[in-house]
Amino acid sequence: STCDPWTAISAVIRKKLQGYVGFANLPNQVHRKSVKKGFHFTVMIVGESGLGKSTLVNTLFGTTLYPNKGETEPSDETPKTVEIQSLSADIEENGVKLRLTVVDTPGFGDFVNNEESWKPILENIEARFDAYLEQENRVNRRKMVDNRVHACIYFIAPTGHSLKPLDVEFMRRLHTKVNLIPVIAKSDTLTEDEIKQFKQRILDDIAYHKIQIYQAPQYEYDDQETLAENREIISKIPFAIVGSDKEVELPDGRRVRGRKYPWGVIEVDNEEHNDFVKLRQMLIRTHMEELKEHTNDVLYENYRSEKLVTMGVQQDQTVFKEVNPLAKMEEERALHEAKLQKMETEMKMVFQQKVQEKEAKLKQSEEELYARHKEMKDALEKQRLELEEKKRRLESGRPITPEKAKKKGFSFNNK
């Protein structure tokens, strides 16, 4: 169709924009600021190799953007870890800019031991949160760049059975960090009935493992048409998709993107044939703002507060996780010892001072006592001398009569 967003996107990239694309009409166009700044949307693509991820990216962007890996021989160099590759395209329509970034994760599930395939992906998502957090903590917040992953398209192999342990593990590890959108890869290899049953199995598995895939909210204030459209999109999850970057000819001569089979053609952009159009609609037209809001308000916010809590706990315990934790601890210990030493010296000084004060006080009171003692002694000596003098006078002068002596207060035995 002519108003196909993705065809138009590749057209813009080729600088030949024709007609109506759709994202300029995003439901939240009231967000004037983001309209002016331009939209920035980041999608991550995860799944085992061979499931058609590169083909989907090419289908989304147009073949010029992604090396056409699908048709080439697998390269000799086998990477040992999951790689993270990111690809961006700037799209402009009617003065509205959209920067779309696709984060690819080649290598996921390709190793003998895939137990930790989810890990580099989780780390990448968290690193993007950290980068955003770091910007938020800056004084100048004017030039914030949002590289957070707003949606993660997870490719499920078209086995027709149920989720693999790898699928469950990945989704369980990631569901609180990113908006998970599961898709059934290469759905043209399954019949309509098989797809229906497989979808139900997948949803049952997801519920059983308590995995939270992206749930689009329904707003009561939306008009009936929007509500119906959203309901229709949500009802297709997990989207059964078909990718192809090749055009094939239909019996009526029209050329469409699709896959040709002896029994006919599966058209990529035909809603009757697969859910690719619904996935694209959800990402770019109906739920882009909502996916971004949920990433910011719920997923990022939870990550941020968890991070702050751990940092707070670390501060309380004065644990320093720096370059060399051992050296840091040793340094801490030395500092602590020096502090104790200083305290001890200070205490000794104070003690000595107190002792000196006490000693001085004691000495003073001793001196006082001594002085008083001397005073008393002197007074007694004086009295004694006076008495002696009196006695001499009495002995040399008139004898004193006992009566007189009594009168004067003397008492002695008058023999």
**Closer of 242 and 279 to ligand GDP (Cβ):** 242
> Could you tell me the smallest distance in angstroms from the CB atom of residue 106 to ligand GDP?
7
Amino acid of residue 368: E
CA-CA distance, 27 to 254, in Å (whole number)? 33
Dihedral sign, CA of 346, 350, 353, 359?
negative
Least separation in angstroms between residue 246's CB and ligand GDP is 8
Contact between 8 and ligand GDP by CB under 6 A: the answer reads no
Distance in angstroms (rounded) separating the CA atoms of residues 314 and 317: 5
The binder of ligand GDP chosen from 7, 34, 49, 296 (CB under 6 A): 49
Please give the residues from 170 up to 189 whose contact with ligand GDP meets the rule CB under 6 A. 186, 188-189
Instruction: Give me the least distance between CB of 186 and ligand GDP, in Å please.
Output: 4
At its nearest, how many Å lie between ligand GDP and the CB of residue 318? 48
> Does residue 51 touch ligand GDP according to CB under 6 A?
yes
Residue 146 makes contact with ligand GDP by CB under 6 A: no
Q: Is the peptide bond before 217 cis (omega within 30 degrees of 0)?
A: no
Rule CB under 6 A: say whether 269 interacts with ligand GDP. Answer: no
Distance CA 263, CA 270 (A): 17
Calpha distance 230→234 (Å, rounded): 6
Number of residues that bind ligand GDP (CB under 6 A): 16
Q: Would you give the distance in Å from CA 191 to the centre of its chain? A: 43
Enter the DSSP assignment of 69.
G
With respect to ligand GDP, which residue has the nearer C-beta, 177 or 259? 259
Distance between CA atoms of residues 180 and 282, nearest Å: 13
Which residue, 266 or 288, is less far from ligand GDP as judged by CB?
266
Name which of 247 and 297 has its Cβ closer to ligand GDP.
247
Beta strands in 329-381 (DSSP E): none
Beta-strand runs (E) in 200-337 = 239-240, 247-249, 255-261, 264-267
Residue whose C-beta lies closest to ligand GDP = 52
Determine contact, residues 108/121, Cβ cutoff 8 Å: yes
Q: How many residues are given for the chain?
A: 415
Smaller CB separation from ligand GDP, 48 or 146: 48
Please, what is the minimum distance in Å from the beta carbon of residue 53 to ligand GDP?
3
Q: Which residues of the shown chain bind ligand GDP in the complex (CB under 6 A)? A: 47, 49-55, 69-70, 186, 188-189, 242-243, 259
